[in-house]
Amino acid sequence: MEQAKIKLPRSAAELQGIPLEAITGFLDNLAAQSIEAHSFMIVRNGHVVAEGAWQPYRIEDRHMLFSLSKSFTSTAIGFAASEGLLSLDDRAVRYFPEELPDETSPLLEEMRIRDLLTMSTGHEKDTVPLGNDQYGDNWAKEILSQPVVHPPGTHFVYNSGATYLLAVILHRVTGVPLLEYLGPRLFEPLGISDATWEKCPRGFAVGGWGLSIAVEDIAKFGLLYLQNGIWDGKRLLPEGWVEEATSKHIDNGSDADNDWHQGYGYQFWRCRHGAYRGDGAFGQFCIVLPEQAAVIAVTSGTGNMGGIMQAIWDNLLPAMGPEPVVGNMRATESLTERLRSLRYDPPAEEAANPAAEQRMNGVVYRLEANSAQLESLAFSFGDDQVLVTMVNPRGEQRIAAGRGVWRESVCSLLGDAELKVVASVAWSDPETIKLTLRFVEAPFTFDVVVRPKEDGAIEVGMHEHAGNNDYPAISGSPQT
Residue 294, in any domain of the structure: yes
Q: Which of 338, 362, 380 is the C-terminal boundary of a domain?
A: 338
Q: Is residue 7 part of a domain?
A: no
**138-175 pLDDT, tens per residue?**
999 999 999 999 999 999 999 999 999 999 999 999 99
Task: Kindly state whether residues 233 and 378 are assigned to the same domain.
Answer: no
For the segment 68-88, the average pLDDT, to the nearest whole number, is 98
CATH at residue 61: 3.40.710.10
Residue 130: pLDDT band with limits 50, 70, 90: very low
Give me the pLDDT at residue 418, please.
93
User: How confident is the model at residue 7, as a pLDDT?
Assistant: 93
Residue 46 belongs to domain spanning: 14-338
Do 307 and 362 lie in one domain? The reply is no
Q: What is the pLDDT of residue 131?
A: 45
Q: What's the confidence (pLDDT) of residue 3?
A: 52
Round the average pLDDT of the chain to a whole number and report it.
Answer: 95
Could you tell me if 300 and 151 lie in one domain? yes
Q: Is residue 103 part of a domain?
A: yes
- pLDDT-based confidence at 2, cuts 50/70/90? very low
pLDDT, mean of residues 404-425: 95
Same domain, 269 and 399: no
Both 144 and 253 in one domain: the answer is yes
Q: What is the pLDDT of residue 135?
A: 65
pLDDT at site 136: 79
| pLDDT score of 328 | 85
- 100-116: pLDDT as tens digits: 999 999 999 999 999 99
Q: pLDDT tens digit string along 9-66?
A: 999 999 999 999 999 999 999 999 999 999 999 999 999 999 999 999 999 999 999 9
Share above pLDDT 90 across residues of the chain, in percent, rounded to a whole number: 93
What string of H, E and C letters represents the secondary structure of the chain? Answer: CCCCCCCCCECCCHHHCCCHHHHHHHHHHHHHCCCCEEEEEEEECCEEEEEEECECCCCCCCEECHHHHHHHHHHHHHHHHHCCCCCCCCEHHHHCCCCCCCCCCHHHHHCEHHHHHCCCCCCCCCCCCCCHHHHCCCHHHHHHCCCCCCCCCCCCCCCHHHHHHHHHHHHHHHCCCHHHHHHHHHHHHHCCCCCEECECCCCCECCCCCEEECHHHHHHHHHHHHCCCEECCEECCCCCHHHHHHCCCECCCCCCCCCCCCCECCCCEECHHHCEEEEECCCEEEEEEHHHCEEEEEEECCCCHHHHHHHHHHHHHHHCCCCCCCCCHHHHHHHHHHHHCCECCCCCCCECCHHHHHHHECCEEEECCCCCCCCEEEEEECCCEEEEEEEECCEEEEEEEEECCCEEEEECCCCCCCEEEEEEEEEEECCEEEEEEECCCCCCEEEEEEEECCCCCEEEEEEECCCCEEEEEEEEEECC
How much is the average pLDDT of 275-281?
98
pLDDT for residue 132 is more than 70: no
